[in-house]
Amino acid sequence: MAFLIYKKTTASGRARYEQLQPLRLGGRDGLIARHVRTVPSDDCASWHLDTAALLKLAGRDAAAEGLTVLFDIGGPQATNVCLYELFQVHGSCRDTVTELALDLYIVVDREIGAAVPAFLREFEVPVPDQPRRLAEILTLSGGPGGGDWKWGAPSLQLGAMIVPGRRQHTNGSPALAATRP
């Protein structure tokens, strides 16, 4: 499992991806830990990051550089390529646990064979009319109260995550706004 920064160019109904570098989300110095430390305590129960905001935390400008983040669930010995484009991260924090719900588009999910490493460095695929969406739930053992920020098994038994609504002000009165993971 890896998160990777890719340069993405689209032309004539095709998307070309060129791998640039890994993106470190986990760990004490990872992007999620850094983000959670900056979130005000009253907003820590529920937060959202789109890909551009995530890349900004990494010191990159997604729009100017044409960047995106791909989630690679294949391992080093894989003969299949499973790459999903991240478009939003929903987070929910408790004391030393951060649950993440990732919104993804399926980019490639097919058998490649021994050519997987070369394919991952640079590839081109048709842009679908209706991209297939996927959600993935992950857990980090860290939160506002500390922790080591290592990947762990989600505690969610049903594969669902409830992200509490945020308070929004409409016409001067507070109201709960529904959010969707």
The structure's pTM equals 0.81
Residue with tokens 């490639």: 108
Phi-psi region of 38 (alpha: psi -120 to 50; beta: other; left: phi over 0): alpha
Provide the residue type at 82 as one letter: C
Q: Domain extents for the chain?
A: 2-155
Digitized pLDDT (tens) for each residue of the chain, 181 residues in all:
799 999 999 999 999 999 999 999 999 999 999 999 988 877 778 899 999 999 999 999 999 999 999 999 887 677 788 999 999 999 999 899 999 999 999 999 988 888 888 899 999 999 999 999 999 889 999 999 899 999 988 875 555 544 444 433 333 433 333 434 4
DSSP character string of 58-121: TT--HHHHTEEEEEE---TT-SEEEEEEEEEEEEEEETTEEEEEEEEEEEEEEE--TTHHHHHH
Cα→Cα distances 93→5, 28, 48, 110, 165, Å:
25, 15, 12, 34, 14
